């Protein structure tokens, strides 16, 4: 009986250990990856992460001191103290200490605010948050504007300016790995300057509830070496490549009216209601960060838009035959 009881207790201990490890992994899992403010890949995010750690550790120290005093006063020496000692504790611990700590934090924070809002170095990217996708326009200092959507590319080591707007409701632009979030408010143009420090692919999100598909409104962020970025941006000026084997998909795309809302430069598709699809094949995801950009996922998105992305303006094209959907998906995937 005893040994059985021991076994039960041992098994229970094991369960708790597994649970603790799983919970720890879940919590620590948020500390890195493509979308973590604790794993900074940009100047602004690094500053904010430093601020976070200073505040977190400082708050921890203050909490420990207060708890230690509470334990001392209730357990170790519960009898009354001298009035003079009490008054001194209130004066220094309750007035002097918080004033000095808060003044220090205020000065530190104000100094940081100043550096975080330095103007950019030339490249400006206009971003418009729309239900439920991102309209992206690159405005290089020399050269014409380039339209894109749901993907932001930027050069590493350069301060890039973002001009943020919204035509419908309030959205918020947030790339946790690169910097803090800024609201996108109809009728206003908010500004944000970000500097990526490590090349890589990150994830941006809408950080202000904006409707049914708010959580399905993300975008890919590609930080590239400066030369590679400049070559890429220059290359955007030419029309998308038109592979002859995708002619049927191109025809279906136009015949089903897709061009009324979507633009593909160099073709008759000139719509501006929905995302520009000129370089769709280059983008990592379909549906604004919804699914990986594969032909099957693209076909599925066109067929089931309304269930995959509730309240999106694009209607579902469920009436298209599977081979037609595949042809359109193949065409879109070839646009590079």
Partner 1 sequence: MIASTRANLITLITAPTVWAVHFLVCYVAASVECAKAMADARVFTGGGWPDITTARIVIAVATVAALAAIAWSSRQAWRHWGDGDAEPPYDDATFDDRQQFLGFATVLLCGLSFIGVIFVALPAVFIGDCR
Q: Which two tokens stand for residue 70?
A: 């509470």
Q: Which of residues 187-206 bind partner 1 (CB under 8 A)?
A: 191
Distance, CA of 48 to CA of 57 (rounded, Å): 14
- Binding residue (CB under 8 A) for partner 1 from 110, 144, 187, 245: 110
Alpha helices in the chain (DSSP H): 2-29, 43-71, 83-89, 97-116, 226-235, 247-255, 295-303, 305-308, 322-333
CA nearest 163: which of 185, 180, 148?
185
> Scanning residues 77 to 96, which ones bind partner 1 (CB under 8 A)?
95
Least distance between partner 1 and beta carbon 113 (Å): 7
Which region among 57-65, 119-127, 240-248, 253-261 touches partner 1 (by CB under 8 A)?
119-127
Contact track, partner 1, 248-287, x by CB under 8 A: ----------------------------------------
Whose structure tokens read 């590493």?
156
Identify whether the C-beta of residue 229 lies closer than 8 Å to the C-beta of residue 154: yes
- Segment interacting with partner 1 (CB under 8 A) among 113-121, 130-138, 176-184, 317-325: 113-121
| Residues that contact partner 1, how many (by CB under 8 A) | 18
- With tokens 């094991």, the residue in question is 14
Q: How far is the CB of 163 from partner 1 (least distance, A)?
A: 7
Q: Which stretch binds partner 1 (CB under 8 A): 21-29, 112-120, 213-221, 278-286?
A: 112-120
Q: Which listed range, 34-42, 110-118, 213-221, 323-331, lies at the site for partner 1 (CB under 8 A)?
A: 110-118
* Candidate residues 88, 117, 226, 234; the one interacting with partner 1 per rule CB under 8 A: 117
Site stretch for partner 1 (CB under 8 A), options 49-57, 106-114, 170-178, 241-249: 106-114
The beta strands (E) that lie in 140-288 are given as 146-149, 151-155, 160-165, 171-174, 182-184, 190-194, 200-206, 218-224, 285-286
**Binder of partner 1 out of 124, 181, 214, 313 (CB under 8 A):** 124
> Given candidates 66, 113, 201, 260, which one binds partner 1 under the rule CB under 8 A?
113
Which of 111, 266, 292, 315 binds partner 1 (CB under 8 A)? It is: 111
User: What separation in angstroms does the CA of 131 have from each of 50, 96, 168?
Assistant: 34, 50, 7
Mark the segment that binds partner 1 (CB under 8 A) among 49-57, 108-116, 259-267, 321-329.
108-116
163 binds partner 1 (CB under 8 A): yes
Rounded-to-integer distance, Cα 325 and Cα 252, Å? 9
CA–CA separation, 83 vs 210, rounded Å?
A: 57
Burial of 42 (0-12, 13-18, 19+ CB in 10 A): buried
Instruction: Give the residue from 222, 186, 181, 169 showing the smallest Cα distance to 205.
Output: 181
For helices 322-333 and 295-303, give the axis angle rounded to 10 degrees: 120
Q: Which residues bind partner 1 (CB under 8 A)?
A: 95, 99, 102-103, 106-107, 110-111, 113-114, 117-120, 124, 161, 163, 191
């Amino acid at each position: 009986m005893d040994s059985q009881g021991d076994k039960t207790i041992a098994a229970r201990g094991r369960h708790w250990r597994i649970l603790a490890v799983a919970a720890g992994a879940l919590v620590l899992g948020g500390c890195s990856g493509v979308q973590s403010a604790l794993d900074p890949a940009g100047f602004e995010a690094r500053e904010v992460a430093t601020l976070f750690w200073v505040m977190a550790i400082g708050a921890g120290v203050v909490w420990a001191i207060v708890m230690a005093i509470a334990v001392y006063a209730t357990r170790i020496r519960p009898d009354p103290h001298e009035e003079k000692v009490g008054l001194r504790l209130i004066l220094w611990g309750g007035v002097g200490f918080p004033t000095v700590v808060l003044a220090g934090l205020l000065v530190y924070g104000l100094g940081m605010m100043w550096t975080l809002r330095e103007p950019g170095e030339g490249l400006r990217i206009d971003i418009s948050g729309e239900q439920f996708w991102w309209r992206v326009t690159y405005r290089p200092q020399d050269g014409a504007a380039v339209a894109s959507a749901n993907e932001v590319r930027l050069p590493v080591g350069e301060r890039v300016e973002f001009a943020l707007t919204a035509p419908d409701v309030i959205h918020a632009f947030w790339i946790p790995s690169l910097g803090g979030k800024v609201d996108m408010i109809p009728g206003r143009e908010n500004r944000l300057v970000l500097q990526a420090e490590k090349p890589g692919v990150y994830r941006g999100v809408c950080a202000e509830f904006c409707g049914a598909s708010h959580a399905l409104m993300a975008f890919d962020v590609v930080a590239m070496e400066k030369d590679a970025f400049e070559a890429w941006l220059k290359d955007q000026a030419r029309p998308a490549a038109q592979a002859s084997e995708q002619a049927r998909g191109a025809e279906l795309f136009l015949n089903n009216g897709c061009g009324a809302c979507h633009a593909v430069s160099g073709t008759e598709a000139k719509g501006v209601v929905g995302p520009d699809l000129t370089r769709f094949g280059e983008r990592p995801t379909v549906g604004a960060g919804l699914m990986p950009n594969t032909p099957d996922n693209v076909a599925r998105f066109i067929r089931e838009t309304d269930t995959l992305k509730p309240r999106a303006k694009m209607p579902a094209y469920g009436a298209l035959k599977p081979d037609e959907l595949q042809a359109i998906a193949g065409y879109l995937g070839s646009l590079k």
